[in-house]
Structure 1
Amino acid sequence: MDPLVGRTLDNKYLIEKLLGKGGMGSVYMALHTGTKRTVAVKIIAPQYMRNRELLIRFQREAEASGRLRHPNVVNVTDFGVTVIDTRPLAYLVMEYLDGETLFEMLQKQPLLPSSLAVEILEQISLGVSEAHRHGILHRDLKPQNIWMQPDGRGAYIVKVLDFGIAKLADPSALVMDLPELEAAPNAETNPEDENATQIIAPTELGLTSAFADASGFTTTVGSTLGTPAFMSPEQCSGKAVNEKSDLYSLAMLAYMMLAGELPFKGNARELIEQQITLTPDAPHTKNPKLSEIVSRVILESLAKDPNYRAPNCQSFVARMRVAVEGEVRILKDSRALGSGNSGVWFAILLLVMVPAVTILNGFRSLGRLATERQWLEDWQAFAIVLVIHFLVAYCALLWADMGMTRWFQYTRDQDGTVKSWFAQMMSTWKCYPRALIATCFTTRPVSDALAHIVILLEHRSVKQARLRSRELLRGNEHIALALLVRRFAVAWLVALYLPIAFVIGQAPLRVIFHEYLGEGFSNALSLASFSFMPIYGSFLLAWSMLYERARRSLGENSVEVMQRSGNTLSRVGQRIRLGTMLWAAIPVLLLLGLILPPSLGWNETFGNNLGSAVLEGRLKDAEAYLKNGADVNGGRGPGRYPFRQAVENGDRPMAELLLRYGASPDGYGGSASPLHYAVMRHHPEMIRFLLDHGAKTEVYDNTHDTPLSLAAKSNQIDAALILLAGGANRNTKDISGKTPLDHALAQNHLALAKILESK
């Protein structure tokens, strides 16, 4: 039985049992006799009580730990020197913790899951960073000094222990008087134990006196302390150490947890030599399940030169978390935050959608005009407008990213007035062109993917924003690529909605090309295509979160996007939010979309009706509809009726059928007539057919062109000859005052011009 069990130290701490014993001392469970609180008491081994250096080290642990109040640093409550049976004993009192050390955990499970390893590293970094803020370097981070306390929810509270060889910014601040004891030589623990804290004379390693200067002990010359398996090269070499030395030890812990072993093996002296001279093997070569990205982050902070390591411990862990979690955590947090503010991003998407649809319909009108004037084939105009549809949707999503980021900046920084909100939104619009240029018009779309957020939050020029984006995304390019893929996917979903709808309706390609560029119903559907943009709502904050995370990876102070929304998130569950009501409205709108088109005659393009039968060339079905009383002149607006569709398709049998049932060969007037469409679609036989059935040649379309003018503009000699033979007047002027001959000459259609002159 341990002789101290049952004894009371300083009439305050009743020793109950031995918890563990190390090379430098023992740890006991004790009861504070005054408060009846269980504590842990660390007592220096009796053989070291005459070693003043180790007494100072022990007092240093109390001093360093006592300065810190942090959830991830063990709480030290007392320090003293007492006498038991005429023997002086130095003791240190700490909070009593359940659980085990990280070393004991790794003995049972050498390879930890990446997510658990990152969580452990993050808590260690928080504790160590707190020490660094107080001017304290730990200098002995190793698994034995990391305590894993279960939190009761399946996770752990990680505590950093043993600041015994900590280096204080001001060592003279030690205030407790130590007893005057007989000097003893420096003690050395077992040099074969790679996990033990070592006290090694520099002369044994052939090192210089600089080793002693960096030891942090002003009372002893010629020794250093640390655990060789985890010591940084500069610590092993006796050079000046700083926070980057603790960072090296933290990276070595990461290596051990994720590779299942340490990179170097041997006794203390061999380990120190390897730490100074050898480059570790990549962790993923020892654990194939580990990605090369994670390996790269670890090896970066195991660099021999401290300048090449991460800026600090928290920056290293931020890079580790990014490498391990990729975009998964960012998207998860973005979805959680977006759900709490869904009313906002619905409003932002709606604001984006209106100008986007306006721009798109403008381009579709141009595409329609290009096909009518025969400047482009149907399929060419379709392809161009489809790409424009995608680009408009992509740019709209880009602005939505900025709008949501601006919203959280607004809620954090502003007083909530309408004026301030308007000012925020206007500033977003003003920087949008720069953001568009910086992010879209680049040869490096992945590395420049954060430029729009940089322009918004840092107000930089296009060039500066790109350089800043590359700096932030260095090492995080895979996440930017993953987010870009999602944005591209949603933009293409928006762009392909209409063509897919036509395909599902079993329309032939020629119909798809034409209807995609159509007006009326198709213009309304373009608005429906942008209704897919709310799918992107889950990703709206992902870019802001990546920006914040990238800044932390660089060691920069940043405000978490999640922190900006504290007030908003606190309201979740307190009421039915606007976003919930908007989501509930979507099925209602879709239902209306199913009911209204048939009832208002908007869906003649597809379905079981006369319009669909004519469009698809189903002659027998069309005749059946007509026999059952279908309106032969019914249609989806002026000039869009079955007979015009048959002419446009070049379907003479269908046109004959419709004429038999009373179709008008001239259409409704006020828009392009069937004869115009026969010219535009290059159907000379249909032109002759219409003229034979009494179609008028002197009719105007909505641009005040006659069929002959259209033939002159598109150099259709056959069509012009048929029209002239059918009585078309070559001197009829259009709205610009030009005759068909004028148009032929302007377009340099000399052969057709000669025909028009001769006639």
Structure 2
Amino acid sequence: MLGAGTTLNDRYVLAGRLGGGGMGEVWRADDTVLGRAVAVKVLMPALSESPTFTQRFQNEARAMATLRHPGVVDVYDYGVCEVDGRQVSFLVMEYIQGESLDRVLRRGPLGSAATMRLIAEVGDALAAAHAQGIVHRDVKPANLMVRLDGSVVLTDFGIAHSVSAGHLTATGTMLCSAGYCAPEMATASDVTPAVDVYALGVVAYECLTGQLPFQGDTPVQIIFKHLNSPVPRLPDGVPPGPRQVVSRALEKTPDRRWMTATLMSEAARKALAAPDTPPTPRPRRAMRAVLTMAAAVVVSAAVAGSVWLRPAQPTTGEVPLPADSPAATVSPPPPSNATRPATTPPPRRVPTSKPTRATHVPSPSATVSTTPTRTPTTNPTPTASQPEPTEQPTTPGPEEPPPTAEPTASGPAGEIQCIRSPCPG
């Protein structure tokens, strides 16, 4: 249908075919109005005849026209016309003098330095497009033009991005090249800039080895390997820096790849400057280290807070009462020999008793050693004029149980027994 001499919109005259693919063909053409050479991407007739796709394609062409980056091809025009009775949609772009990267790779793989330089430039171009919300979806050597000065330009922006992820019923082809298709593209996942990072990783692998990481007889076989097979190891001659740039870009899970094209571009430049030094570690490991440190700080703060706020344990073994409690008394230091009535044990656990020196009472009965555990009385007994209260153990009688850690009261509440002279009146 198209050929040399075909005129589109009475302005662009096709001069020679530059290449083609599943989406259409690229022609070198002459702009008869401005008198310059341009590149014209002509879409497949089946796609051009879809009103929905045509509108989306036009919107993307407008978005592409807003991009201004030396690594992104300039978009000049968009149009629709009839050729031999069929509607044709086309995109007019800057004509790049040079050759496509796929033709360069036919002569052999590139070195590590040339590959990292190329990845850095393409990563910058992708970052500019991603900042405008445009995902290329078809990054491959055929869409990378190498200028005469060696710089690289990304072409065919907006075409693959204009079509929704999935299959087109008109052609039955998946909207990505199988050899460069990210795993999530085959699982109907949301398309994000991570698909371009993955495709750029495949391009880098191909530049270093001269072949694709996954190959097969059919696109289905190739995509299946992208989903399930591990990436073949790069040659031993590839330095650690470039090796990590590529391996991380080819992670199956999007969040394990370079988070942005900018980060991948920066890593490629570092690998170019110091190929034997790997780039920065994976963000997941770095984040794990940060979370571990944060958890340690939180635990330390919690422990310190509990120690700071915990009340001091009494050294005499007594259970402290609130300051405003009517039963609160000043506990004398041990040993003491005050006889106090037995009361209900406090709700808090009484610390383990410690042995103390037994106090001898002038009585024929045996002396019993008591523990420092004392139960506070309900009424304060000591006064300023009274001597220090003492504590006297009782002697088990024939009807009494064996002595326990808590002494039994031997007199009425408040009675003081004097064991030394002179005694208060």
TM-score, normalised to structure 1's length? 0.34
Structure 1 residues 128 and 18: alpha-carbon distance in aligned structure 2, compared to 1, 3 A threshold? same
Corresponding residue of 1:273: 224
- Report the Cα distance in structure 1 between the residues aligned to 2:267 and 2:239, rounded to whole angstroms: 13
Letter in 2 for 1:138: H
Match of 2:205 in 1: 255
CA deviation vs aligned residue, 1:737-758 (integer Å, no higher than 9, x gap): xxxxxxxxxxxxxxxxxxxxxx
**Which residue in the other structure is 1:20 paired with?**
19
The equivalent of 1:143 in structure 2 is: 141
Match of 1:165 among 160, 163, 170: 160
Cα deviation code 1:458-490 (max 9, x no counterpart): xxxxxxxxxxxxxx9548xxxxxxxxxxxxxxx
| Cα deviation, residue 20, structure 1 | 2.7
1:6 is matched with 5
Is 2:250 the counterpart of 1:299? no
Contact 1:76-1:95 within 8 A present in 2 as well: yes
Q: Match of 1:36, as an amino acid? A: G
Inter-CA distance 14–278: structure 2 relative to 1 (3 Å threshold): same
Q: Which has the higher contact order (CA 8 A, sep 6+)?
A: 2
Instruction: Tell me the residue number matched to 1:31.
Output: 30
Deviation at 1:48, TM superposition (A): 4.2
Q: Determine the C-alpha separation between the residues in 1 that align with 2:56 and 2:219.
A: 20
Question: Once the two structures are superposed, what CA deviation does each residue of 1:550-607 show, in whole Å capped at 9, x if it has no partner?
Answer: xxxxxxxxxxxxxxxxxxxxxxxxxxxxxxxxxxxxxxxxxxxxxxxxxxxxxxxxxx
Residue aligning to 2:260:
312
Q: CA deviation at 1:132?
A: 0.6
For residues 77 and 160 of structure 2, the distance between their equivalents in structure 1, rounded to whole angstroms, comes to 18
Measured after TM superposition, the shift of residue 53 of structure 1 is 5.9
> Distance in 1 between the 2:243 and 2:280 partners?
17
Residue of structure 1 in register with 2:170 after alignment: 186
Report what 2:90 is aligned to: 91
Quote the offset at 1:256 in angstroms.
1.1
- 1:47 CA displacement: 4.7
Q: Deviations over 1:322-375 (max 9, x none)?
A: 2343189x9xxxxxxxxxxxxxxxxxxxxxxxxxxxxxxxxxxxxxxxxxxxxx
> Once the 2 structures are TM-superposed, how far is the Cα of residue 121 of structure 1 from its aligned partner?
0.9
Q: Percent identity?
A: 30
Say if 2:105 is the partner of 1:106: yes
Partner of residue 176, structure 2: 226
Contact 1:150 1:157 in 2 (8 A): no
Are the equivalent residues in 1 in contact too, given 2:12–2:32 (CA < 8 A)? yes
Measured in 2, the distance between the counterparts of 1:4 and 1:263 equals: 36
SS where residue 320 of structure 1 aligns? helix
User: Counterpart of 2:29 in 1: which secondary structure?
Assistant: strand
User: Is 1:131 aligned to residue 129 of structure 2?
Assistant: yes
Q: Which has the larger radius of gyration?
A: 2
SS of the residue aligned with 1:166?
helix
Question: How far apart in 1 are the matches of 2:224 and 2:29?
Answer: 41
CA offset at residue 78 of structure 1? 0.5
Shift of 1:56: 5.0
- The corresponding residue for 1:73 is 72
Alignment of 1:234-253 (within 5 A): 234-253=184-203
Corresponding residue SS for 2:238: coil
Deviation at residue 86 of structure 1 after TM alignment: 2.8
C-alpha contact (below 8 Å) 2:75/2:92 kept by paired residues? yes
Give the direction of change, closer, same or farther, for the CA distance of 1:186–1:138 in structure 2 (3 Å limit). Answer: same
Higher helix share: 1
- 8 Å contact from structure 1 (residues 127, 160) kept in 2: no
Deviation string for 1:147-206 (max 9, x for gaps)? 11112xxx32433334312169xx9xxxxxxxxxxxx94213xxxxxxxxx42xxxxxxx
CA drift at 1:136: 0.9
Does 2:283 correspond to 1:326?
no
List gaps (5 residues or longer) in structure 2: 283-425
Query: Do the aligned residues in 1 keep the contact of 2:56 with 2:162 (CA within 8 Å)?
Result: no
Whole-angstrom distance in 1 between the partners of 2:38 and 2:118: 24
Q: Would you say how many aligned residue pairs link Structure 1 and Structure 2?
A: 279
Q: Distance in 2 between matches of 1:126 and 1:120?
A: 10
Task: Give the AA of the match of 1:159.
Answer: L
Q: Is 1:156 aligned to 2:106, yes or no?
A: no
Q: Which amino acid aligns with 1:294?
A: P
The change in CA–CA distance for 1:279 and 1:86 in structure 2 (over 3 A counts) is same
2:6–2:14 CA contact under 8 A, matched in 1: yes
> Contact between 2:79 and 2:89, CA under 8 Å: does it hold in 1?
yes
Report what 2:58 is aligned to.
59
Q: 1:276 to 1:51 in 2, by over 3 A?
A: same
Q: Secondary structure at the match of 1:165?
A: helix
Over residues 538-558 of structure 1, what are the superposed CA-to-partner deviations in whole Å (9 max), with x where a residue is unaligned? xxxxxxxxxxxxxxxxxxxxx
Question: For the residues of structure 2 that align with 1:112 and 1:60, how far apart are their CA atoms?
Answer: 37
**Helix, strand or coil at the partner of 2:80:** strand
Report if aligned partners of 1:41, 1:94 keep a CA contact under 8 Å in 2.
yes
Higher strand fraction (1 or 2): 2
Q: Is 1:234–1:241's contact at 8 Å kept on the other side of the alignment?
A: yes
Q: Distance in 1 between matches of 2:156 and 2:2?
A: 25
TM-score (normalizing by structure 2): 0.60
Distance (whole Å) between structure 2 residues aligned to residue 322 and residue 3 of structure 1: 46
Taking the aligned partners of 2:191 and 2:169, their CA distance within structure 1 comes to: 25
Q: How does 1:428-507 map to 2 (within 5 A)?
A: 474=281
Change (3 A) 1:235 1:4: same
In 2, Cα distance between the equivalents of 1:244 and 1:137? 9
SS at match of 1:141: coil
CA contact (8 A) 1:58 1:164 kept: yes
User: Is the partner of 2:138 in helix, strand or coil?
Assistant: coil
Question: What CA deviation, in whole Å up to 9, does each residue of 1:107-140 have, x standing for no partner?
Answer: 112x101111111111111111000110111111
SS at match of 2:30: strand
Q: Counterpart amino acid of 2:187? A: S
Aligned mates of 2:237, 2:233 — CA distance in 1: 13
Taking the TM superposition and a 5 Å limit, the aligned residue runs for 1:368-379 are none
Q: Say whether residues 1:288 and 2:236 are aligned partners.
A: yes
Change (3 A) 1:20 1:260: closer
